[in-house]
A = this chain, B = another copy of it.
Amino acid sequence: MNWDIRLDKLNEECGVFGIFDNDGLDVAKLTYYGLYALQHRGQESAGIAVNNDGNIDYHKDMGLVPDIFSENVLNGLKGQIAIGHVRYSTTGASHRENAQPMVIKYKNGKMALAHNGNLVNAAEIRENLEESGTIFQSTIDSEVIANLISRYRVTNNNIEEAIEKMMGDIRGSYALVILTPRKLIGIRDPLGIRPLCIGRIDDSYVIASETCALDAVGARFIRDVLPGEMVIISEGGLTSIQTKVPDTTKLCIFEHVYFARPDSIIDGASVHSARKEAGKRLAIEHPVEADLVIGVPDSGLTAAIGYSEQSGIPYEQGLIKNRYVGRTFIQPDQQQRETGVKIKLNAIKSAVEGKRIVMIDDSIVRGTTTKRIVQMLKDAGAKEVHMRVSSSPIKHSCYFGIDTPSRKQLVAASHSVEEIRNIIGADSLGYLSMEGLLETPVGSKCSFCSACFDGCYPMEVPKEGNKFSCESNKQ
């Protein structure tokens, strides 16, 4: 299974989108475009919910956004407010019941929620809620969150107060959009681990995980939702409640390294620029004499351009990726692998033959795929392959919304750089330093969580990880 090239990447778990219309826009269709732009954040399931005269209509299913929503389905989703969600699942046999948005009925009517992130104390809260008789129908955090909001709503005056109380209970990462019959609410966790931004189309508001979704719907970027901030959009316009936050922020650095789309801007820093900067710094930290710089498509390309620019070594396309990757692709069997079938990636022989190559990728997870690519280049005639990684060695699991394999599968958790070089068969190997990496998001208003690299979790985490004690990394 490691054989599948896409599998040696960390996987984001979700993307969220919301829109409040004041201009006669088709909110379901714009949410469709927004989710389509966020599809890279989750390919397993997707859903859209719209308010409809006190009620909430929705459609969600397994699959890609264009496959789930037909013109007919979108036409059936009429309303003034919509939220949407794309999801990647960590479990093999995932149930449709886990698709979002979650739509619920509670004391004060209907509500829909969509969540990107991961709560580290979800199990504990579930247990507490179960102790008082609560039942759960899914395994997603949205259900925990909905239960808490619903409980707090009973004894509080409005949903904003209930949400604020809920935020006091949950710990972890969350970019949340909530739809009520008259409001669109966006919330970001106090450390700002997951991104969330605000845009505008004329008098209508949009909330999205990334600015690329604002572009997709023709909205102009207004600002990011602040860590710990709740923005409420209603007929009266946008209001904001700033909850108490620590004096640091911890945006997931991997958003810049791999997850986000290069055309997105997060907390003031361009993802594309960060990746290019990473390539440049990599060239300074790990120079090498070579003929060409190539990137592993698609996520290694930007850093490769940066490395080339800094080093003066020409940039080249050395690998070509099949554009038609489907979820249901039939994997080759052992015999076919031995024959050397090249399904998703292929080397461009005419470009790499006889050349000393610097190959850039954004990360190495298990190492198996990198090994195959190095071999592929050598088979195509590359004289040397110098591997450069535009982030640091991944040594720790993530508890904040990224699907990392167990530590024993992380090649860097138990191997030195030289051992990894040997495993992947490269002529040299260089990772970007932590210091270098954290400086790549030029202009960022946030500091970063880099726990997957250094184990410095920004809060207590359930299992394997270090406790909340890695003060040195606090910025």
What residues of chain B lie closer than 8 Å to A309, measured between beta carbons? 314
What residues of chain B lie closer than 8 Å to A308, measured between beta carbons? 315
Interface of A is mostly: mixed
> Is A332 close to B, CB under 8 A?
yes
Output the residue of A104, A302, A305, A350 with the most chain B CB within 10 A.
A350
> Is A22 close to B, CB under 8 A?
no
Contact B270 A350 (CB under 8 A): yes
Residues of A45-63 contacting chain B, CB below 8 A: 58
CA gap between A329 and B74 in the complex, in Å: 12
CA gap between A351 and B265 in the complex, in Å: 12
> Is A40 close to B, CB under 8 A?
yes
Q: A106-B133, A215-B342, A272-B350 are in contact. List 13 more A-B contacts (CB 8 A).
A: A26-B333, A29-B333, A58-B95, A70-B328, A70-B330, A71-B330, A106-B130, A107-B131, A132-B151, A134-B134, A134-B150, A135-B150, A201-B339
Instruction: Pick out which of these stretches binds chain B: A31-39, A177-185, A452-460.
Output: A31-39
Q: Mark A78-103, 1 if CB is under 8 A from B, else 0.
A: 00000000000000010111000011
Contact B154 A273 (CB under 8 A): no
Contact B324 A315 (CB under 8 A): no
Contact A301 B317 (CB under 8 A): yes
> Is A413 close to B, CB under 8 A?
no
Contact A106 B136 (CB under 8 A): yes
Given contacts A96-B96, A320-B261, contact A67 B349 (CB under 8 A): no
From the candidates B26, B96, B348, name the one contacting A263 in the complex (CB within 8 A): B348
> How many chain A residues have a CB neighbour from B under 8 Å?
96
Given contacts A104-B136, A347-B263, contact A323 B336 (CB under 8 A): no
CA gap between A316 and B306 in the complex, in Å: 9
CA gap between A325 and B39 in the complex, in Å: 10
CA gap between A146 and B137 in the complex, in Å: 10
Given contacts A273-B351, A309-B314, A328-B66, contact A133 B105 (CB under 8 A): no
Residues of A262-277 contacting chain B, CB below 8 A: 262-263, 265, 270, 272-273, 276
Contact B273 A33 (CB under 8 A): no
> Is A232 close to B, CB under 8 A?
no
CA gap between A216 and B341 in the complex, in Å: 5
Contact B340 A218 (CB under 8 A): yes
